[in-house]
Amino acid sequence: PQGIGSPSVYHAVIVIFLEFFAWGLLTAPTLVVLHETFPKHTFLMNGLIQGVKGLLSFLSAPLIGALSDVWGRKSFLLLTVFFTCAPIPLMKISPWWYFAVISVSGVFAVTFSVVFAYVADITQEHERSMAYGLVSATFAASLVTSPAIGAYLGRVYGDSLVVVLATAIALLDICFILVAVPESLPEKMRPASWGAPISWEQADPFASLKKVGQDSVVLLICITVFLSYLPEAGQYSSFFLYLRQIMGFSSESVAAFIAVLGILSIIAQTIVLSLLMRSIGNKNTILLGLGFQILQLAWYGFGSEPWMMWAAGAVAAMSSITFPAVSALVSRTADADQQGVVQGMITGIRGLCNGLGPALYGFIFYIFHVELNELPMPESPSGGSVVTQYQLQQNSIIPGPPFLFGACSVLLALLVALFIPEHTNLNIRSSNWKKHCGSHGHPHSPQAPGEAKEPLLQDTNV
């Protein structure tokens, strides 16, 4: 009975937009606070913070998804949004507590898990891809617009106003869930169901990974995903800090970079991807995307001028076609009753990379001594900060060593992907999986058995 109207995709879209819009506003202030809080070993600490958060999210996502199957989605939407946004006001109160809470919040920072499960509850199978696409596009739109707005407000009115605004938007999101979001599983929200057992297989984050070696083609695909997404996850965690502190980008330039990259990525994943899939085929599209990713990472690694970063960013947008192409290949080659199992393996590997990638990048930055020991000085006539230019000369001939390591990793992924057959039938022995899901499934729920326990299975764009 709670909520406004019947459950719809638009409820999920608004929840996602408000949460990530609030965090997007803090892009520029977070980079400044991170460097002021950890003036030494900035990149190492950033990698550890993001790595711990990613690893905790990977470990907790299956359990939260399974619990939401029993206790309902609304309460877990509220829980995940609250804990994800809890660190925001701490940025100005206590930076140390801010970063500590960010790390621990990874346990509950799995809003997408619950949102995709919410969408699966209220859509038919043929509608689900479009609904997931709408959620993912909303996520992208929020991050395209909010960093630029936050950078502008911070420059004109100060970072304190940006933090207050982000906190207000996060509170608005929580109030929206409490007041407007209806429960998508009302039949389950009764006291008798609260005692339903949750098995270890449902909560085991490594359950899907254990099936990787059962088919040689799946093994090749999963190795390709691991080797290509590990550097991508590390890059996302540290690249904007790298632009700000090492390349001398201003807050406005970083925000503009995010916006341009986001718009180009949306174009690449829609228009360009569909054209390539029709013209050169699924496997060749994957290989092309990996090639673009190698070029992008190598350019980031050796680039020492701002224009090089902008050019490499355009190449990065083209490399974003890789994972949707991989998901499409898996979807086409797996049997209908094994879609959830195989997609779940890939999602599990990506989740693991979200924890390992940032920590790996931070460690490589630390090994090569790529960091600033003091705040950037006023800009020099040539455009970059004096400290930045000096330290780039004093470091090594490779300004960004982790990106070069990432290029080598993606090169290995490209070599592995060459052995993936274009057309094949995947054969995953998933009888125990299906039996388990069938025994705990709910007859009224419209999603397929595999999707009932893996709310992130269709997360192909995020």
List, for residues 106-146, the tens digit of each pLDDT value: 888 888 778 888 887 787 766 766 777 778 778 878 878 88
HSE-CB at 53 with a 13 A cutoff on CA atoms is 22
Write down the pLDDT at residue 190: 45
**82-95 pLDDT, tens per residue?**
998 999 999 888 88
What range defines the domain where residue 304 resides?
Answer: 211-372+398-422
Say yes or no: 368 and 251 in one domain: yes
Answer yes or no: is 461 within a domain.
no
Whether 101 and 86 have beta carbons less than 8 Å apart is answered as yes
393: pLDDT strictly greater than 60: no
Q: How many domains would you assign to the chain?
A: 2
203: pLDDT strictly greater than 90: no
258-288 burial, b at 16+ Cβ within 10 Å, e below that, comes to bbebbebbbebbeebbeebbeeeebbebbbb
| All residues at 6 or more sequence positions from 13 whose CB lies less than 8 Å from its CB, including other chains | 134, 135, 138
Write down the pLDDT at residue 164: 94
* Residue of 347, 354, 292, 342 lying closest to 460 (CA atoms): 347
Write down the pLDDT at residue 335: 66
Whether 108 and 80 have beta carbons less than 8 Å apart is answered as yes
Say yes or no: 173 and 216 in one domain: no
209: pLDDT strictly greater than 80: no
**250-269 pLDDT, tens per residue?**
888 888 888 888 888 888 87
Q: 3-class SS at 101?
A: helix
- How far apart (Å, rounded) are the C-alpha atoms in residues 64 and 159? 34
Other Cβ atoms less than 10 A from the Cβ of 251: the count is 21
| All residues at 6 or more sequence positions from 129 whose CB lies less than 8 Å from its CB, including other chains | 458
Say yes or no: 354 and 271 in one domain: yes
Write down the pLDDT at residue 171: 95
Write down the pLDDT at residue 224: 92
- How far apart (Å, rounded) are the C-alpha atoms in residues 407 and 297? 5
Q: Which of 7-16, 125-134, 183-192 has the highest mean pLDDT?
A: 7-16
| All residues at 6 or more sequence positions from 186 whose CB lies less than 8 Å from its CB, including other chains | 1, 72
The residue with greater pLDDT, 333 or 231, is 231
What is the arithmetic mean of pLDDT over 385-400? 47
Write down the pLDDT at residue 271: 84
Say yes or no: 110 and 216 in one domain: no
Say yes or no: 78 and 140 in one domain: yes
Answer yes or no: is 202 within a domain.
no
The residue with greater pLDDT, 246 or 254, is 254
Q: What is the chain's mean pLDDT, rounded?
A: 77
Answer yes or no: is 280 within a domain.
yes
Q: Which of 14-23, 71-80, 183-192, 252-261 has the highest mean pLDDT?
A: 14-23
Write down the pLDDT at residue 368: 80
Answer yes or no: is 84 within a domain.
yes
- 185-199, 272-286, 353-367, range with the lowest pLDDT: 185-199
Whether 47 and 359 have beta carbons less than 8 Å apart is answered as yes
What is the arithmetic mean of pLDDT over 291-315? 88
Say yes or no: 130 and 272 in one domain: no
Whether 452 and 441 have beta carbons less than 8 Å apart is answered as yes
Q: And the tokens for 300?
A: 């980031």
5: pLDDT strictly greater than 90: no
| All residues at 6 or more sequence positions from 5 whose CB lies less than 8 Å from its CB, including other chains | 182
Say yes or no: 222 and 112 in one domain: no
Write down the pLDDT at residue 354: 85
- How far apart (Å, rounded) are the C-alpha atoms in residues 73 and 109? 15
Write down the pLDDT at residue 196: 58
Say yes or no: 271 and 418 in one domain: yes
Confidence of residue 76 (pLDDT cuts 50, 70, 90): confident
Say yes or no: 354 and 314 in one domain: yes
183: pLDDT strictly greater than 90: no
- 72-81, 87-96, 436-445, range with the lowest pLDDT: 436-445
Write down the pLDDT at residue 441: 41
- 79-83, 288-292, 325-329, range with the lowest pLDDT: 325-329
What is the arithmetic mean of pLDDT over 392-406? 67
What is the arithmetic mean of pLDDT over 182-210? 65
Answer yes or no: is 459 within a domain.
no
Answer yes or no: is 445 within a domain.
no
In CATH, what number is assigned to the domain containing residue 265? 1.20.1250.20
